Each structure stands twice: as C-alpha cells, then as structure tokens.
Chains A and B, each alone.
Chain A
Amino acid sequence: EAGVTQFPSHSVIEKGQTVTLRCDPISGHDNLYWYRRVMGKEIKFLLHFVKESKQDESGMPNNRFLAERTGGTYSTLKVQPAELEDSGVYFCASSGTYTGELFFGEGSRLTVL
C-alpha cells in the first residue's frame, strides 16, 4: 500500500514568488492534515481537511497560505507571495476515520531566498 506522498521534496524560490506543494494521502483516508516545521521550532499544525471540507484551519499563519482539497483526494498548499519566514519543512499527514493514527509523508522542504 502506498504511503502519503508529497511533491516536490525540495523547492527553492525567491521572496515574492509563488510555490504550490502537493500531497497525496493514503487511498481512502478522509482526514488530511498539513503541518510545518520551521528550523529550530516544533512541528506546528496548519489545517485539517475532512474529505474536501476544511475542518480546522486555525494554524494557518496568514492569508498568503491557501489550501485546497478538491474532490476529497489530493491536497495542495499554495504560498503566495512567499516570504523568508515561510522557509521550513511542510508535512502532510492522513488518517482513516476514527483510527487516530496519523501517517506522515516525507515532507516538502521550502527554502525562500
């Protein structure tokens, strides 16, 4: 069974540019989460989808971040325009309904210069 896959694994962009990160959850998992780890800090929750609906987006830093999950399958996280402080590793995780176990992807490393 394929795990959670994320693309790209590493992206280097200039300040002010746009980047879109993609996450493919484990097939059949309704819950999809985005987390971020900024260097030297804890992994922080960004938002939670249940199927295509945003259940909780309280962790999104500001309106430069836009997450979508069309059709309840894969999700994208767009940062526009990117700032230096957006650099970090963005993790996606998924879980089946009520299982309580999160399966994480390997992360997308974002470097904003």
Chain B
Amino acid sequence: QKEVEQDPGPLSVPEGAIVSLNCTYSNSAFQYFMWYRQYSRKGPELLMYTYSSGNKEDGRFTAQVDKSSKYISLFIRDSQPSDSATYLCAMSWGSGGGADGLTFGKGTHLIIQP
C-alpha cells in the first residue's frame, strides 16, 4: 500500500463548476498537509497549508483534513480555465518540509473546459 493515494485523473469539468480533489494516506504520523499546484513544465507551487484536522479557506480554495479517516480534500469554487493544472497533495511529520521531507501523491490532472 502506498503512503499517499491520489487519483491521477484526468478530471475534466466545465468552467464555473465546483471541483473536489482528494487524497488518502496510510501513515497516521502525518501532521502537516499541503496542496501544490503544478503547471506544465513548471515547479510545484504551494496553494494551501494545513496543520492537523480541520478546514482552511483561501479565496476560491478550501482545504479539509480528516485525520480520523486519513483523508484530505481540496475544493475549488467557481473554477476557471486558469485553474487547469496538476494538483499534488503532500504531507509531512514536521513543519511542512522542516526536518523531514514531504511525501507526495501522484497528482491529479485537472482540466477546466471554457
């Protein structure tokens, strides 16, 4: 069993739709949970950063962490064509990328159709 499972997609939705992306993980020691966005031929860019369980909102993006279920989600409201990218979940034991490296999911390729 992989430490982090993420459906690679592609996931194609019409512009304006609500997008739901998620990851499951097996290691209960993970404390920090992140979502990165990666455009083609670019490096990952941090979108959301969450500690332990709960919700975090930033503009059109909402991150949810359910540690009891070992399940994290990213919601994108009012999706735009510019949101088309690969979304990677990542997690770590310590402060996101502190003394330990991040464990990534494979990434979900998201396509927003105009």
Contacts and interface: CB of A to CB of B under 8 A. Distances in A.
B98 A100 contact: yes
Contacts of A43: 44, 88, 90, 102, 104
B104 A106 contact: no
Interface string B17-46: 000000000000000100010000111111
B101 A33 contact: yes
A104 B101 contact: no
B73 interface: no
Contacts, number: 67
Interface residues of B, number: 26
Interface residue SS majority, chain A: strand
A4 B96 contact: no
Nearest to A55: B99
Determine the interface band of chain A, counting residues with CB < 8 A from chain B: 20 to 34
Interface residue SS majority, chain B: loop
Contact of B49 (A45, A91, A101): A101
B95 interface: yes
Contacts of A87: none
A47 B88 CA distance: 20
A42 B46 contact: no
A26 B106 CA distance: 26
Interface of A: 4, 31, 33, 35, 41-48, 55-56, 58-59, 91, 93, 95, 98, 100-107
Given A47-B101, A98-B95, A106-B41, 11 more contacts: A4-B43, A33-B101, A42-B2, A42-B105, A46-B101, A55-B99, A56-B100, A98-B98, A102-B96, A104-B43, A104-B44
Interface of B: 2, 4, 32, 36, 41-46, 49, 88, 90, 95-107
6 contacts: A43-B44, A43-B88, A46-B101, A56-B99, A105-B43, A106-B42
